[in-house]
Amino acid sequence: MDAARPRTAASASRRRRALLITTGLSLAAGLLLWGTDPGAFRTLPPAYWIMAALAVVADARPHPLPGHRVSRVILPSICFTFAIVLAWGFAPALTVQLIAVTVAGVRMRHSVLRSVHLALQHIAGLGAAALVAELANWRIALRPDLRDAALTCAAAAAWIAARYAVAAVARRCTSERRTRPRRRARADLLGTAALLSLAPLLLLAAQISPALLPMSLLAVHAVQRMVRWAGESERAGRVDALTGLPNRRALQATMSERGPDRQRALLLLDLDRFRTVNDALGHGAGDRLLARVADRLAAAVPRHDLVVRLGGDEFAVLATRVEGAASARRIAEHLTEALSLPFPMDGTPVEVTASIGIALQSGRRDGATLLREAESAMYEAKQRGDQVAVHGPDAPHASPDRLALLADLRAALRRDPADDGIVLYYQPQIAIATGEVVGVEALLRWKHPKRGLVGPEELLRVAEPTPVMRLLTARVLDEVVAQLAAWRTAETPLRAAVNVSARDLHAGDVADRVARLLREHEVPSDLLQLEITESALMADPHRVLDTITRLDRMGVAISLDDFGTGYSSLQHLRRLPLSEVKIDRSFVLGMAEDRGDAAIVRSVIGLADSLGLRAVAEGVEDEVTWRLLAAAGCHAAQGWFHARPMPAAELAEWLGRYRPVRPGVLRGPWIPAK
């Protein structure tokens, strides 16, 4: 199931079999070489036997890089066997290397295939080095000159090239997934070169006195520690400390690699209502639950797929062998089934569900785009109340035109706010009983360099399903709070309402941003109001409730926008810390002619009044509607009957001309025309 599972009798049997087979191969190779040239071994000096013993001792405690495959093992014995091949030839070096590989394989519990794989790499390296020496008709001298140095470097280069060529061929033959980023490959090469460079020094020490050779183990140990430190440092940057799974960086590196020309799928999982576990059982229990979820996900996917923890309660699975959306959906359903069994936590069974977004990758599409698409699909699943959603060309936000618009918007938000084209218009909200301006709603516009003015509906439709929405909300909040400070300095304080999306509330950091902005601009919290929609509540009610509760405690008013068009409205009115509800314009526009719409509007106003909430009507465009709202007891209204949305400078002029108008007074020429 995972790395911590107990060793089974079958695995112990495999290791014993590996020991017997590899030991037999080594002895057979040694006997074969002995039979070929028995005199060669009898004439070998004591220095050879000391280095042979040191090679075996060094490999008795090998240090493979953490979490890596057999092709990544750097055996310390190579410095001794390389010295032997330079001084006494291929046959003596090969015998020692095979015995050392056998010892290392047993110590690292390698299978027979892995041990043979490792042996072939080192045989190839020694053979290439011996070939260089043979072609040059050369053995290293007691007092080496420049020719000896050049040939030693050539032999070392041949050793490295041959060893890693065999490793690459073996990976291809065994379909082993390639996970060798550039930094990791540099650490491999540096460690190997450092060990090989010790070989001439060992031979010089042997010429002086073979008794000096055991001191080389200290240098070998230092190289091992250096290589291991480099591996652990690299691994720490690519592995999640809590779960032991690869992290976001590892996922991005894997997605950027060129693999076989087959379709891959990225499944992004976000646990539903995870914050309630932290609240009820504590953060320690939440961490243990995340670790157990990671174990269960890792056990549910094949070995060739990658399971990743992205952060928080988000996980991802990179499926490398899918045949389309239907195949990816089956994987997602398998994952949800794996998570369906309760997790026992301190004697309490905890139910876990996840929303899963799927994005399909084929060809040369980059990993960053794939991750954005999977995240977009995941949020779509949450908004719909489904467990699984697939991002595809048939998705409403995936048309080429909208993708181009989204790319332009993302680029604009990275520029300076002074020239990004993002502008805010403000529409006044009028108290019906007094006719006075009680606030404004900030409405977003974007002056696209080619398309002209892009309205809020199209802008939000493109941005809301993507991470760009959070950047856009941050940009709007910055400008609105700064404008509130300017109005307050001009002694014309106004309350401003800002729309926030499901993505903003789901992330939760919007509360921290609002608190920081209000503090920096010295703006009272009651001058800012945030508008949320019922669809935002459906995404993750518990997490959203936590966010808006924090905002309410700060003194920021919360308005429920588009009331009546979502789900569970009465439940939200009862549970959420709201200050007002906004009646959707689809009901207000028709209330003068449609008795049903009028009845709905009156019911909402009565319900809000009984709960102590303000009722604000949107889309008031004529005096008849204005009077009907007044008769129903509506608290405030906004719409073209009083003013269109306008920039802040025009709003200041409008406020200077405006005079309050009550519903009982007929509209006069002094009221600004729409």
Q: How many other C-beta atoms are found inside a 10 Å radius of the C-beta of residue 265?
A: 27
In terms of pLDDT, which residue wins out, 265 or 276?
A: 265
- The confidence score (pLDDT) of residue 674 equals 38
Model pLDDT for residues 463-500, shown as the tens digit of each residue: 776 778 888 889 999 999 999 999 999 888 899 999 98
User: Do 582 and 563 form a contact (C-beta atoms < 8 A)?
Assistant: yes
In terms of pLDDT, which residue wins out, 125 or 149?
A: 125
* Among the listed residues 477, 475, 499, 504, the one whose alpha carbon sits nearest the alpha carbon of residue 414: 475
| pLDDT band with cut points at 50, 70 and 90 for residue 65 | very low
- The confidence score (pLDDT) of residue 63 equals 53
Model pLDDT for residues 316-353, shown as the tens digit of each residue: 999 888 887 888 888 988 998 888 888 888 777 888 88
- The confidence score (pLDDT) of residue 523 equals 94
Task: Check pLDDT > 50 for residue 671.
Answer: no
The rounded percent of the chain whose pLDDT value lies above 90 is 19
- The confidence score (pLDDT) of residue 639 equals 92
| pLDDT band with cut points at 50, 70 and 90 for residue 667 | very low
- The confidence score (pLDDT) of residue 269 equals 93
Please tell me the least confidently modeled range out of 45-49, 123-127, 390-394, 396-400: 396-400
Q: What mean pLDDT comes out for the span 590-602?
A: 90
Report the half-sphere exposure of 301 (CA within 13 A, side-chain side): 26
C-alpha span between 659 and 78 (Å, rounded): 91
| pLDDT band with cut points at 50, 70 and 90 for residue 261 | low
Model pLDDT for residues 198-238, shown as the tens digit of each residue: 888 888 888 778 787 788 777 777 776 776 666 666 666 67
For the chain, what is the total number of helices (H) and then of strands (E)? 26, 16
Tokens linked to 563? 């009331």
Task: Check pLDDT > 50 for residue 179.
Answer: no
What does pTM read for this prediction? 0.52
- Mean residue pLDDT across the chain: 79
C-alpha span between 51 and 108 (Å, rounded): 22
Task: Check pLDDT > 50 for residue 247.
Answer: yes
Q: What are the φ/ψ torsions at residue 344 (nearest 5 degrees)? A: -70, 120
Is residue 563 packed enough to be buried (19+ CB in 10 Å), middle (13-18) or exposed (0-12)? Answer: buried
The rounded percent of the chain whose pLDDT value lies above 70 is 77
Model pLDDT for residues 18-43, shown as the tens digit of each residue: 555 555 555 555 555 555 555 556 67
Report the half-sphere exposure of 666 (CA within 13 A, side-chain side): 2
| pLDDT band with cut points at 50, 70 and 90 for residue 598 | very high
Model pLDDT for residues 91-142, shown as the tens digit of each residue: 888 888 888 888 887 777 777 777 788 888 888 888 888 888 888 777 775 5
Q: Residue type for 574, please?
A: R
Task: Say what angle helices 146-174 and 182-208 make with each other, to 10 degrees.
Answer: 140
In terms of pLDDT, which residue wins out, 489 or 146?
A: 489
In terms of pLDDT, which residue wins out, 438 or 365?
A: 438
For the four alpha carbons of 415, 419, 421 and 422, in that order, the dihedral sign comes to positive
| pLDDT band with cut points at 50, 70 and 90 for residue 458 | confident
Please tell me the least confidently modeled range out of 62-66, 72-76, 206-210: 62-66
- The confidence score (pLDDT) of residue 418 equals 75
Please give the order of strands across the beta sheet that includes 264-271.
Answer: 306-311, 314-319, 264-271, 354-361, 388-391
Q: How many other C-beta atoms are found inside a 10 Å radius of the C-beta of residue 80?
A: 33
C-alpha span between 297 and 341 (Å, rounded): 12
Q: What mean pLDDT comes out for the span 531-540?
A: 69
| pLDDT band with cut points at 50, 70 and 90 for residue 5 | very low
Q: E strand or H helix at 311, and its extent?
A: strand 306-311
Which residues have a Cβ under 8 Å from the Cβ of 564 and sit 6 or more positions away? Answer: 583, 584, 587, 600, 604
Q: What are the φ/ψ torsions at residue 318 (nearest 5 degrees)? A: -100, 105
Pick one of 3.40.50.2300, 3.40.1360.10, 3.20.20.450, 3.20.20.70 as the CATH number of 421-657. 3.20.20.450
The CATH number given to 248-395 is 3.30.70.270
In terms of pLDDT, which residue wins out, 628 or 188?
A: 628
- The confidence score (pLDDT) of residue 395 equals 53
User: Do 563 and 584 form a contact (C-beta atoms < 8 A)?
Assistant: yes
- The confidence score (pLDDT) of residue 240 equals 85
Q: How many other C-beta atoms are found inside a 10 Å radius of the C-beta of residue 257?
A: 12
What percentage of the chain's residues is helix, strand, coil (to nearest 5)? 60, 15, 30
User: Do 257 and 322 form a contact (C-beta atoms < 8 A)?
Assistant: no
SS3 658: coil
What is the per-residue DSSP string for 114-143?
HHHHHHHHHHHHHHHHHHHHHHTT----SS
